[in-house]
A and B are shown apart, each in its own frame.
Chain A
Amino acid sequence: MLVITCPYCQEAREEEEFSYAGEAYIARPAVPEEADDATWGDYVFHRKNPRGWHWEQWQHVAGCRKVFAVKRHTVTYEIAGSWTLADGKALYLKEQA
């Protein structure tokens, strides 16, 4: 069981208080109608599924219900940190750059 820090409740809590909410920072095409089938299909279905560091969303369902970003290692389960979605996004974009 993971121990995840909720950036809103500002406390490390056990995994059972949270619900996994998928990969973080997937961009929804701004004008879906203009996206071709391949682009749209990629957005709906394709996920990174990396072996290593992964930016993901967790929701504190048994707590404040907020969704936030977690950077987690999929092999070691190490958690580098958790951030509000906005704070995490800045860091995420810097990493991607």
Chain B
Amino acid sequence: MPKQGFQPFMESPLHHFKLDAEAQARRADGRIWCNELPHLGYAVLRGDTAEAGFAQLVQQVTGLALPLQAGAVSQGPQGVLMWTSPDEWLLVSHRQRLADWTAQLDGGFAAQQLFAQTVDSSGGLTLAWLGGTEHITVLRHLGVYDFESIPLGHMVSTVLGKATVQVIRLDGDGVFVLFRRSFADYVWRLLRRAAQPYGFAVCQLEARGDHPLFAQLAAPRPSLILA
């Protein structure tokens, strides 16, 4: 494909806050630590669990078991797969890998004539990590859900302020807050405001091989993904 010298660049939904510039190394004090995990790949996965072959294909392509319980999250070294509705899941991984996965999945769905699909949402979503001793308290300031009760390895879709978000709790260290691009400015400002009493700081996020989402930070950021 001739690129005619084009040099595409990506900007994440929180790009304008220039978070990298203020990010500092995370310390063990009581601050609220927060940052965006930019440029991940997201795909909405739709399918019917009653159709033979659907769950198997998903497992086969992604290595992730299709979560069947409300709010359950399947985790693997290459990404996560979250239950969002009885016939809907959200797949999060590195952009390039996600593009490969969705191509394979859609190919497989078509070949097996399954009533299933993926919908690329990589441009429309982003993820912020929120940690520190009071990270659940910050959520309690903004949303009416009983955030303390989210089991590890679960996701809950609810409301923070006036925005719908998904809160993903994989470990006790912090939570991931998933939100839509156009709401990103609002959600970020809201988190920053609520965290103010505890000391809000942007932290550097480090790639961690044992973590399904932090692991994705290790891979080089793609300059261009051709879907």
User: Does a CB–CB distance below 8 Å link A and B in the complex?
Assistant: yes
Residues of A within 8 A of B (CB): 8-11, 13-14, 16-17, 61-66
Residues of A within 8 A of B172 (CB): none
Bound: A63/B167 CA distance, A: 11
Bound: A8/B49 CA distance, A: 14
Near A by CB (< 8 A), chain B positions 151-210 give: 157-159, 164
Whether the Cβ atoms of B144 and A64 lie closer than 8 Å is: no
Whether the Cβ atoms of B159 and A8 lie closer than 8 Å is: no
Bound: A62/B183 CA distance, A: 14
Whether the Cβ atoms of B158 and A8 lie closer than 8 Å is: no
Whether the Cβ atoms of B86 and A62 lie closer than 8 Å is: no
Residues of A within 8 A of B158 (CB): 13, 17, 62-63
Whether the Cβ atoms of A64 and B145 lie closer than 8 Å is: no
**Main secondary structure on A side of the interface with B:** loop
Whether the Cβ atoms of A11 and B159 lie closer than 8 Å is: no
Residues of A within 8 A of B164 (CB): 61-62
Near A by CB (< 8 A), chain B positions 119-168 give: 144-145, 157-159, 164
Residues of A within 8 A of B86 (CB): 8, 64, 66
Whether the Cβ atoms of A16 and B85 lie closer than 8 Å is: no
Near A by CB (< 8 A), chain B positions 84-127 give: 84-86, 88
**Main secondary structure on B side of the interface with A:** strand
Residue of B nearest to A8 (CB): B86
B224 within 8 A of A: no
Contact of B71 among A9, A14, A62, A65 (CB under 8 A): A9
Whether the Cβ atoms of A17 and B159 lie closer than 8 Å is: yes
CB distance from B17 to the nearest CB of A (A): 25
B25 within 8 A of A: no
Residue of A nearest to B144 (CB): A14
Bound: A14/B160 CA distance, A: 12
The 4 closest A-B pairs by CB, nearest first: A64-B85, A14-B144, A62-B164, A63-B157
Whether the Cβ atoms of B88 and A64 lie closer than 8 Å is: yes
B61 within 8 A of A: no
Residue of A nearest to B71 (CB): A9
B70 within 8 A of A: yes
Residue of A nearest to B160 (CB): A62
Bound: A9/B157 CA distance, A: 10
Known contacts A10-B70, A61-B164, A63-B157, then 13 further A-B pairs from the complex at CB < 8 Å, ordered by chain A residue: A8-B85, A9-B70, A11-B71, A13-B145, A17-B159, A62-B157, A62-B158, A62-B159, A62-B164, A63-B85, A64-B88, A64-B157, A66-B86
CB distance from B209 to the nearest CB of A (A): 32
CB distance from A8 to the nearest CB of B (A): 5
Residues of B within 8 A of A10 (CB): 70
